[in-house]
Amino acid sequence: MSLQLPVQTVSRLCLIYRVLLGMDRNEQLSSSKLGKLVNIPAHTIRKDLSVAGKLKSSNAGYKAGELLDFIKGLFNFDAPLRVCVAGIGLLGSSFIRNPVQEGGQFIIVAGFDTNINKIEVMKSEVPLFPAYEMADKIREMRIDLGIIAVPAQAAEITKERMKEGGIKGILNFSPAILGDKDIAVRNVHFAEELRFLTAMIPDLEKGV
Amino acid sequence: MSLQLPVQTVSRLCLIYRVLLGMDRNEQLSSSKLGKLVNIPAHTIRKDLSVAGKLKSSNAGYKAGELLDFIKGLFNFDAPLRVCVAGIGLLGSSFIRNPVQEGGQFIIVAGFDTNINKIEVMKSEVPLFPAYEMADKIREMRIDLGIIAVPAQAAEITKERMKEGGIKGILNFSPAILGDKDIAVRNVHFAEELRFLTAMIPDLEKGV
């Protein structure tokens, strides 16, 4: 993005964008209506949009299509990105089998695994390579983003290989918590999502 | 949970809990040290912990083990929960193949799919059932949480079946955005995570 926005604002604008994708472009939206759809207070939405920049709005609010285009332009969401997947287990394979994501915004162009046998045997539209070729292939194929779907103990080395190849952002599904001062890293941990869900349930009676 | 905490506080406490799980119980932590580990300002952590309740702390800060036990007790994280998975595709299978998650905090006890053939053929430790039996099985087996890993168009009906069975919380991996006034629902959308990552990368040069 061209301007430096607070992480929480970026996160909320991404959520709003996702909701807008499923709407009629001509739908008229007020901040409070939009707020209900994404479960965010209306004044927070107004603040986010004002921080993000000038957006043509009337008293009647925003037009869905214009708001969509505004966020799309703000973050360059119209340019497709090249993505690779490290770790071709069940989760990694689910990306390899669906190489075009979100109508072409993300295109899975390569997969990597340490198991050479698996790479040779597996049928895949997306080319698969041994993990040790990762940095070279990422550079050659000008890959933008990496998905890490390897076991925890292999997460750090995988991140380093991706960085070496010049990757710009990493989505980490391994249980390891990854961070980096040079590139954007997003950790998604399934068990933590379950734990958060557990914490949100009032007065849960438990017992297996 | 017994008290009503703000969602953001719950989310941060869950993140802190996850980091503490990997630490020595005797490690002494200050709010600022803890803050650096989870990338949250120290004063926010102090506020979260004070909102959450009384925690024995000295000027030296907190002991990792005591803080862990405090959060565990607050959210009842010591009681194992029974989890089911709807949709036995690649993602759903990855849960079925690892039925004991987080050292026993979550136990996958059942899987469901509309494809009866798949259920009969698939080898699995976890019992698999046809989707139409979902509500009955959830009730019979006293299942607490449900993971939705079905296509978008089947997400809503799956949620309804789970609710009918008395499920208390849902982790939704389908692209549909689910919400519910009666039960806790958490939406995790892979493409949205990629999009957020994209938005966080400064001055990304794009072009496939």
Q: Does B77 touch chain A (CB under 8 A)?
A: yes
Q: Chain A residues with CB inside 8 Å of B75's CB?
A: 195, 198-199
Q: Could you say which residues from 156 to 195 on chain A have a Cβ atom under 8 Å away from some Cβ of chain B?
A: 168-171, 177, 179, 183-184, 186, 188-195
- Amino acid A208: pLDDT: 45
Q: Are strands A128-130 and B169-172 parallel, antiparallel or unpaired?
A: unpaired
- Amino acid A1: pLDDT: 43
B156/B103: higher pLDDT: B156
Q: Could you say which residues from 96 to 125 on chain B have a Cβ atom under 8 Å away from some Cβ of chain A?
A: 97, 101-102, 105-107
CA B66, CA B69: separation in Å to the nearest integer?
A: 5
Q: What confidence tens digit (pLDDT) does each residue in B191-206 have?
A: 889 999 998 887 665 5
Which fold would CATH assign to domain B7-75?
A: Arc Repressor Mutant, subunit A (1.10.10)
CA A192, CA A53: separation in Å to the nearest integer?
A: 34
Nearest to B169 among A80, A183, A198 (CB): A198
Measured from the Cβ of residue B208, the count of other Cβ atoms closer than 10 Å reads 13
Q: Chain A residues with CB inside 8 Å of B172's CB?
A: none
pLDDT band per the 50, 70, 90 thresholds, residue A207:
very low
- Amino acid A170: pLDDT: 96
Burial class (CB in 10 A: 0-12, 13-18, 19+), B55: middle
- Amino acid B181: pLDDT: 86
Q: Does B46 touch chain A (CB under 8 A)?
A: no
Q: Where are the domains of chain B?
A: 7-75, 81-192
Burial class (CB in 10 A: 0-12, 13-18, 19+), B75: buried
A83/A59: higher pLDDT: A83
Q: Are strands A62-63 and A28-29 parallel, antiparallel or unpaired?
A: antiparallel
The CATH architecture one would assign to domain A81-192 is 3-Layer(aba) Sandwich (3.40)
Q: What is the b/e burial string over A83-119, where b = at least 16 CB atoms within 10 angstroms of the residue's CB?
A: bbbbbbbbbbbbbbeebebbeebbbbbbbbbbeeeeb
pTM, two decimals, is: 0.84
Residues 6+ apart with CB under 8 A from A35: A41, A42, A44, A45
Same fold, A7-75 and A81-192: no
Contacts of A44-50 with CB under 8 Å at 24 or more apart are: A44/A12, A45/A12, A45/A16, A48/A9, A48/A12, A48/A13
Q: What confidence tens digit (pLDDT) does each residue in A113-161 have?
A: 999 999 999 999 999 999 999 999 999 999 999 999 999 999 999 999 9
- Amino acid A103: pLDDT: 80
